[in-house]
């Protein structure tokens, strides 16, 4: 298991609606004031490339495993948390 220090990162909660495939993005933490991501996207394909890349990796993990990588973690079939260094956003 990895113990990743997230102090220098912003945490994004990504939830894909199982029926409509719309994507809800929530920025969590005090660094979210200047968040450049929209709250809603029509599909995963509409997300910025850097978000799609991180999601692609996390989608390969089994949900609900107690594994947290430097990218983030997956909590269910349609729910993810992504760590982002501020200089990437």
Q: Token pair for residue 42?
A: 């029509």
Q: pTM, whole model, 2 decimals?
A: 0.82
pLDDT per residue over 42-52, tens digit each?
999 999 999 99
- Res 73 pLDDT > 80: yes
Average pLDDT rounded to a whole number, residues 57-82: 85
Distances (CA, A) of 45 to 5, 21, 49, 69: 29, 10, 9, 23
pLDDT per residue over 74-83, tens digit each?
999 999 999 8
């Amino acid at each position: 298991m990895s113990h990743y220090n997230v102090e220098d990162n912003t945490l994004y909660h990504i939830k894909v609606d199982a029926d409509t495939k719309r994507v809800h993005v929530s920025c969590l933490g005090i660094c979210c004031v200047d968040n450049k991501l929209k709250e809603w996207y029509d599909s995963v394909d509409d997300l910025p490339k850097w978000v799609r890349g991180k999601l692609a990796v996390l989608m390969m993990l089994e949900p609900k495993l107690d594994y947290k990588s430097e990218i983030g973690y997956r909590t269910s079939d349609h729910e993810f948390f992504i760590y982002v260094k501020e200089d990437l956003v």
